[in-house]
Structure 1
Amino acid sequence: IYDLILILEVQVLVVIFLCINMLLIVTFFKKESFYTTARYILFAVTLLSDSFILFMSDILLILSYFRFTMQIGLCIVIYIPLSLYTFVTPVTLTAMTLERYVAICMPLRHGELCSTRSALNSILIIHGLSSVPCIVVLSIFFASVSHNLYTQYRICSMDIFVFLRWQDHIKLAVYQCYFLIMSVTIIFSYIGIMKVAKAASGENKKSSWKGLRTVILHAFQLLLCLIQLWCPFIETAIFQINLMLYNNVRFFNYITFNLAPRCLSPLIYGLRDEHFFLALKYYVPFGYYCVKTMCHDLP
């Protein structure tokens, strides 16, 4: 009964976050200035990535609760996009932080470096970088198992592709490498923006400090996303100790490090951003609250 209540609570949270994300995605495509601006394009990538992860991970959670098994070959097909988009969000957050750094610390080159074309190229680079961990894990898996394993039926989870301890070590090393690179990027951007914020005055100072707060929120969101990458290792260790504790920790990790960081994206750019929030109020069903004199620039 307790597990069922937790599952139902998770369903409510997932539905709420998915509805919010869908509203923001619709708003993004309604206004041309959003899908021709680099930071909003990257924001839309995080929304789509987060929505996909929320939906697919929730499906796997439900299947796991009901002990539903599937062929490992089918599980591999599910694992590939899940693994890819698990990394797409933190890598995109890092790119968004760099965009804020360029906008504040190199304003004269912002239009050149952060054009629409650059944003589209960045999406390709982000997906390329995000695919590396998946390729590493699956390459080791394919080289280590026999072909008849693919037709076996098991509960699909993201940790069934690691059989040996040395595989675990390689996977953790790749994750830590990504964590280090993204952390250094966030810290570098934070220091650069902080220097500009202290030296600026008037409107520039206000803009710089707002950018600094955005970087801090990105850092916090990125930290939660990266902790999520370590959760399988923690859960595997706890599983060997106590099954009830394992279930509780698994639900805690899912809500704290899977759901929580994916509700911060709407907060950072969907609600804190004045232009996006104005458009959101105009286009969603409660748009009549938007004063027409404030929304005259919206189509």
Structure 2
Amino acid sequence: MASNNSLTGDGLSSRPINYRVILVQVFVAVFLCINFFQIIIFLMKDSFYTTMRYILFAVILLSDCLFLFMSDILLILSYFSIFIQTWLCLLMYIVLSVYIFVTPLVLTAMTLERYVAICMPLRHAELCSTRSTLHLIFIIHSLSSVPCTVILSIVFASAPHSFYTQNIICSVEMFILYSWQGHLRSAIGQFYFLIMCILIVSSYAKIMKVAKAASGKNKKSTRKALKTVILHAFQLMLSLIQLWCPFIESAVLQIDLMLFINVRYFNYITFILAPRCLSPLIYGLRDEMFFCALKYYALCGLYKKQSSS
């Protein structure tokens, strides 16, 4: 009966909305609007969807939109204690588990694209073609699916059939049936991020070497590439810390429940929302060509008024 009441809406009235939930909704709504606007701009210029870095940037925008939307739904379901069936929660878990890795992997790919552009300019057109980009996106999604596949294989082998039909308050922890499962998930994630960090640091070192030898316009271009790599590394660091959050939260939960709620909220804002909100601000506004298109379409109505007057 409790699950039916929650599904029909009684669960919504049992807990008041506080400022934290409203703040998250504002953050999510604002950045979804910004992301959608930048996706529209991407689709409006042919040169964008034939260039690797812009295609990868669009993949990040789409990935972040999906992740923000799904994680926000999960937050609302959890906050209001709304019960859903396990199979629906399982679908949400699959999406979130896959797309938690897509953004950092794409950031790494964008760093490697900048490395090829600066350090191997003669091979850039060959290595960074549209076809290569599509293959790279497929590889990224395949790699992102590995941790989820490993965890779900254990769940499917261990959980009884009744597990998938019961009503639950959806949480990603529902599919961690054993403590070693959580350690395995964390180990896979940290291995991924170790490889990504190595690739970003080595790319930065090689671009730095080219920057020292460059002059004039080339020097300016390489410096901009270095700043982009640093910003990607910063986003990656925030995403890496996110993997340690469950361990911190479980330790805090044993100390105090209210402290656990505060820490979990802080982790959600800082290490889940923030890295995915930085992409449109960092890359969309720093890229000169994309920023010009952004400004043109954002001020299109103003241009029309000026031309008519």
Please give the TM-score of this superposition, normalised by the length of structure 2.
Answer: 0.90
Q: Which deviates further from its counterpart, 154-163 or 57-66?
A: 154-163
The 3-state SS of whatever aligns with 1:201 is: coil
User: Which residue, out of 176, 182, 185, partners 2:196?
Assistant: 182
1:24 match? 38
Shift of 1:112: 0.5
AA aligned opposite 2:73: I
- 1:109-124 to structure 2, matched below 5 A, reads 109-124=123-138
Shift of 1:195: 0.5
Structure number with greater Rg is 2
AA aligned opposite 1:48: L
Contact 1:282 1:288 in 2 (8 A): no
Distance 1:79 1:45 in 2: 20
Distance 1:123 1:71 in 2: 32
Shift of 1:289: 5.2
Distance 1:137 1:230 in 2: 17
Query: Is 1:248 aligned to residue 262 of structure 2?
Result: yes
AA aligned opposite 2:33: C
Contact 2:84 2:170 in 1 (8 A): yes
1:93 match? 107
Shift of 1:281: 1.4
2:163 match? 149
User: Which residue, out of 300, 304, 309, partners 1:287?
Assistant: 300
- 1:66-215 to structure 2, matched below 5 A, reads 66-215=80-229
Distance 1:161 1:240 in 2: 21
2:284 match? 270
Shift of 1:175: 1.1
Contact 2:85 2:168 in 1 (8 A): yes
Distance 1:223 1:139 in 2: 29
Contact 2:190 2:243 in 1 (8 A): no
Q: Which runs of 5+ in 2 are unaligned?
A: 1-14, 305-309
Shift of 1:288: 4.4
Query: Is 1:220 aligned to residue 230 of structure 2?
Result: no
Distance 2:303 2:135 in 1: 35
Distance 1:203 1:32 in 2: 26
The one-character-per-residue Cα deviations of 1:192-227 (angstroms, maximum 9, x if unpaired) are 111111111111110001000000000001111222
The 3-state SS of whatever aligns with 2:50 is: coil
Shift of 1:173: 1.1
2:5 match? none
Aligned CA distance change for structure 1 residues 290 and 34 (closer, same or farther; 3 Å)? farther
Contact 2:200 2:229 in 1 (8 A): yes
Report the RMSD for the aligned CA atoms in angstroms: 1.6
Distance 1:268 1:120 in 2: 23
User: Which residue, out of 72, 76, 95, partners 1:58?
Assistant: 72
Shift of 1:277: 0.7
Distance 1:259 1:287 in 2: 30
Distance 1:194 1:254 in 2: 34
Contact 2:108 2:196 in 1 (8 A): yes
AA aligned opposite 1:170: L
1:297 match? none
1:41 match? 55
Shift of 1:94: 0.6
Distance 1:103 1:202 in 2: 17
The one-character-per-residue Cα deviations of 1:143-162 (angstroms, maximum 9, x if unpaired) are 22222111122111111111
Shift of 1:169: 1.6
The 3-state SS of whatever aligns with 1:154 is: strand
Shift of 1:77: 1.2
Distance 2:128 2:303 in 1: 30
Contact 1:84 1:131 in 2 (8 A): yes
Q: Which runs of 5+ in 1 are unaligned?
A: 292-299
Distance 2:175 2:90 in 1: 9
The 3-state SS of whatever aligns with 1:35 is: helix
